[in-house]
Amino acid sequence: MNDVWILGIESSCDETSVSIVKNGNEEIATVVLSQMDTHANYGGVVPEIASRMHVENITLVIEECLKKASMKMEDITAIAVTYGPGLIGSLLVGVTSATTLAYLYQKPLIPVHHIAGHIYANNLEQPMQFPLIALVVSGGHTDLIYMKDNYSFEKIGGTLDDAVGEAYDKVARVASIPYPGGPLVDKLSYEGEDAYSLPTPLDDTSYNFSFSGLKSAVINLVHNEKQRGNTINEADLACSFQTRVVDILTKKTLRALKQYHVNNLIVAGGVAANSGLRNRLKTLCEENQIHLSFPSLKYCTDNAAMIAAAGYFAYNLGRKSGYDLKAKATDVLH
C-alpha cells in the first residue's frame, strides 16, 4: 500500500497550526502558533483578534511546517482542514487557505470535524482499538461517544449546559485565578483538601452532564464567604470543585463502558490534560481491566496533527469536499 501524507490545517480558535502526518499515525512535523498570550490580556479569546492573527500567520505556519518536514506541497497526498465547529472567523482562514492549496496543487480536500480531530489525537500514540468509548472534554465539549469502528460516532451523552473546560475557566475567574484558569485550578487542587461542600452535578442514570449548577454553587459559596468576611481557601475550593467534576465524569464513563460492553476508553480534548482526571481514570481503568488511552499533553490542546490523523481515515473513506467547502460554527460530529 502506498504511504499517505496528510497536511492538516487547524484554525478553529486561537491556535494557527499546520502538521504533516504519515498514514494517520506518524507525525512528521507540526507547527503550532498560539495566540494565548495576546488573549490573556482580555481574559479570554476575542474572536475578531483571533481571526486577524490567523490571517497574518497562516502562510508562515504552512511554510514552517513544510520546512520542518523537509517536504514540498507536491509530496502531500491530501489536505485536511478543520471546517468546524469553532469561531467562524477563525475557521474561515484555515478553510480558505486549505481550499486554495487544494485547488493550486490539485489535491483532495478533506473536511475534518474538530472533535474527530481530538479523538484521533489518540491514534498518534497507539492504534485505536474498537469498539471504544471516547470521553471528549474541552472548553467547548463534554461528550461521551461510542465508536463501533473508525469514523463511526454515536453520541450517547453530552453536556446540557456548560462544557467542563468552560466551568473550570469560570470557577477560576470567581476565585481570582488568572486566565487560562483550568490548568491552574488543577495544579492548586493538589495543595488543598476537599473541604467545601459542593453538589455532585447531574448524578442520574443518563450519560449527560451539567456543570452550570456546580459553577453557580461555587459562585454562591465565594459570595457568601466574602459577605461573612471569611477568606476563601483557593486550594481547598479548587480541590472540592475538581473532585466533584472528576467524580461525575469517571462515574458515567465507567457505566457507559460496562453497559456497551466495551473495554477501550480514549480521552480527548483540552481537559484530557487535567492530571486529576488522568490519575483517577488510570486507577479506575486498571481496576476494571479497561484499556485506557490519553493523547500526549502536546496533542490535548488544539493542534493540526490530530486533524491530519483524523483526515487520513476520512480520506480512506472517500470523504472529500469540493472547493465550495463551508466553515461551520456548529456541526454535529458524524
List residues near other proteins by CB under 8 A: 41-42, 46, 48-49, 51-52, 55-56, 58-60, 62-63, 73, 89, 92-93, 95-97, 99-101, 103-105, 322-327
H/E run at residue 187: helix 181-189
Phi, psi of 185 (to 5 degrees): -60, -45
Minimum CB distance to other proteins, residue 83 (Å): 10
- CA distance to 221, 233, 242, per residue, from 196 (Å): 9, 9, 11
Residue number, 93 or 128, with CB nearest to other proteins: 93
At 327, the amino acid letter reads A
How far is the C-alpha of 39 from the C-alpha of 206, rounded, in Å?
A: 36
- CA distance to 9, 108, 307, 322, per residue, from 325 (Å): 14, 12, 16, 6
Minimum CB distance to other proteins, residue 270 (Å): 22
Residue number, 44 or 199, with CB nearest to other proteins: 44
Minimum CB distance to other proteins, residue 33 (Å): 12
Residue number, 42 or 130, with CB nearest to other proteins: 42
For every residue of 269-291, DSSP letters joined together read SGGGG-HHHHHHHHHHHHHTT-E
What is the radius of gyration, based on Cα positions, of the chain?
20
The three grid cell numbers given for residue 213, joined into one nine-digit string:
449548577
Residue number, 20 or 256, with CB nearest to other proteins: 20
Residue number, 3 or 74, with CB nearest to other proteins: 74
Residue number, 7 or 132, with CB nearest to other proteins: 7
Minimum CB distance to other proteins, residue 42 (Å): 5
The 8-class DSSP code of residue 123 comes to G
Query: Of the candidates 67, 64, 69, which has an alpha carbon nearest to the alpha carbon of residue 31?
Result: 64
Name beta bridge partners: 89.
none
The 8-class DSSP code of residue 318 comes to T
* Distance of alpha carbon 106 from the chain centroid: 30
Q: In this structure, are residues 18 and 307 in contact, taking their beta carbons and an 8 Å threshold?
A: no
Residue number, 99 or 250, with CB nearest to other proteins: 99
Minimum CB distance to other proteins, residue 61 (Å): 10
H/E run at residue 65: helix 47-69
Residue number, 97 or 159, with CB nearest to other proteins: 97
Minimum CB distance to other proteins, residue 44 (Å): 10
Minimum CB distance to other proteins, residue 327 (Å): 7
Minimum CB distance to other proteins, residue 104 (Å): 5
Query: Of the candidates 297, 298, 307, which has an alpha carbon nearest to the alpha carbon of residue 12?
Result: 307
Minimum CB distance to other proteins, residue 94 (Å): 9
Residue number, 43 or 199, with CB nearest to other proteins: 43
What dihedral angle (degrees, nearest 10) is formed by the CA atoms of 88, 93, 95, 96?
Answer: 130
The three grid cell numbers given for residue 258, joined into one nine-digit string:
460496562
